[in-house]
A = this chain, B = another copy of it.
């Protein structure tokens, strides 16, 4: 009973994610989400007070997924340089494999209320990176720097370099390699 409730809540979030990944935020009317989740429009409001609340959660879910993947990849490495490389490869690889979703998470125009979640998403990546960078600095692997600032700049560089290719649908492996070089240099990884 309570299970059915939870299940349809899940289904709504999944449906929203699905539409987001296929047609972007623009395709995400409440009616469309409800239809895909096989519930009535009004039922969405039994679970979420507001469309913005629904999508805040959707963005949170999607973000967590992305950040988890990146975190997992980085955890397998043991130097700051390798971790940063893993972050870039994972982030870019996933973005290129699911371009529409990546574009929605990174750059597509959304409600201001949802925009806030996007900042959280970017910030989560930055915070993760900041940790690795701080470790690298502390361990002498990287030169002194403000990890808050440099991690933010890295996330910006990554996102910007992705959005173009995402739109164009193209993306050579050169792009990823180029980014790794760029970011390693930026952080002062010794060559």
Contact = CB atoms under 8 A, between A and B. Distances in A.
Interface of A: 26, 109-112, 115, 119, 122, 145-146, 149-150, 152-161, 163-164, 167, 174-175, 178-179, 181-183, 185-188
A29 B156 CA distance: 30
The 10 closest A-B pairs by CB, nearest first: A156-B160, A186-B186, A153-B157, A156-B156, A157-B157, A109-B109, A149-B178, A156-B157, A153-B161, A182-B186
A189 B34 CA distance: 54
Contacts of A185: 185-188
Contacts of A161: 149, 152-153, 156
Most chain B CB neighbours (cut-off 10 Å) among A110, A111, A155, A160: A160
Nearest to A144: B181
* Secondary structure type dominating chain A contacts: helix
A167 B119 CA distance: 11
Contacts of A174: 146, 149
A160 B183 CA distance: 15
A26 B186 contact: no
A119 B154 CA distance: 19
B109 A111 contact: yes
23 contacts: A109-B111, A109-B112, A119-B163, A119-B167, A122-B160, A145-B181, A146-B178, A149-B161, A149-B174, A149-B175, A149-B182, A150-B182, A152-B164, A153-B179, A153-B182, A154-B157, A156-B160, A156-B161, A157-B160, A157-B186, A160-B160, A183-B186, A186-B186
